[in-house]
Amino acid sequence: MLLRWRAVALFSLLVWSSAGWASEVRLAVAANFAAPMRSLAQSFEKATGHKVVVALGATGQLYAQIKNGAPFDVLLAADDETPKKLESEGLAVSGSRATYAIGRLVLWSKRDGLIDAKGEFLSTGRFDRIAIANPKLAPYGLAAIEVIEKLGMTQATKPKVVEASNITQAHQFVASGNAEIGFVALAQVAEGGKIKTGSGWIIPESLHSPIQQDLVLLLRGKANPAAQQFIEFLRSENAKAVIRSYGYTLP
């Protein structure tokens, strides 16, 4: 009887300890990083037992939510300015910023063979709609505007622009046929850094400012060991390999 009681007590202690160690980390993640985040979250949960809760959106939208008290532990932005701003405003842990990926922009169509590898199709104007993420909220949208301006096509494309709230919606516009072409993140349409469906032009990085994507530990995450473990996990070689496989580069 005594041995049985000890066994039950030991089992209860193990269950309590496991529950005590396991925690939850809430991530605010730029929409362009949705695909790699699914893979990374699964790996992190399997390795640690922690639960990952992800909220996706345009970086500007996520920033507004954080300012309004949204309970996030870590922000993975699509730029480097928003994490800096949160630090300066006292909403993030000073010194916790780090670059987790450098994004690539692509002009994409779901139709095979429509967009050539040099992007000359854009200058033909043979399209009715072009999807772009809101440049005021989404760094990928801002990069798209820079490309259009540098190519001298602002006036020609302006009447055809369909503005999406974030890069995910921009991709949906093109994938659904509501826009023939659109500027999207390479990670949304590529595998191993190469376009896997439709056709596209991977934009030369010389045509827009670098899409440096930084993360920052938010104040709520300071007391959450799982949040800090997740940031460390992103520095691992396995995590970096996943990020590269979606077409991102690393500093």
The single-letter code of the amino acid at 200 is G
Strand-pair category, 181-185 with 130-133: parallel
Query: What are φ and ψ of residue 248, in 5° steps?
Result: -80, 155
pLDDT for res 251: 85
Neighbours of 65 (CB within 10 A): 16
Q: Tell me how crowded residue 236 is: count the other CB atoms within 10 A of its CB.
A: 14
Contact 199, 113 (CB under 8 A): yes
pLDDT digits (tens, 9 = 90+) for 88-140: 999 999 999 999 999 999 999 999 999 999 999 999 999 999 999 999 999 99
What is the domain partition of the chain in residue ranges?
Answer: 23-102+211-245, 104-207
Looking at residue 192, its pLDDT comes to: 75
- Any idea which residue has 């996030």 for tokens? 72
pLDDT of residue 180: 97
Q: 201: which 2 tokens?
A: 């032009």
Domain 104-207 is classified in which CATH homologous superfamily? Periplasmic binding protein-like II (3.40.190.10)
CA angle 103, 205, 161 (to 5 degrees): 80
CATH of domain 23-102+211-245: 3.40.190.10
Task: Give the pLDDT of the chain (251 residues) as one tens digit per residue.
Answer: 433 433 333 333 333 333 345 699 999 999 999 999 999 999 999 999 999 999 999 999 999 999 999 999 999 999 999 999 999 999 999 999 999 999 999 999 999 999 999 999 999 999 999 999 999 999 999 999 999 999 999 999 999 999 999 999 999 999 999 999 999 999 999 887 789 899 999 999 999 999 999 999 999 999 999 999 999 999 999 999 999 999 999 98
Q: Which of 210, 218, 209 is nearest to 97 (CA)?
A: 218
| pTM given for the model | 0.85
Distance CA 170, CA 54 (A): 20
Spatial CA neighbour of 57 closest among 65, 69, 45: 65
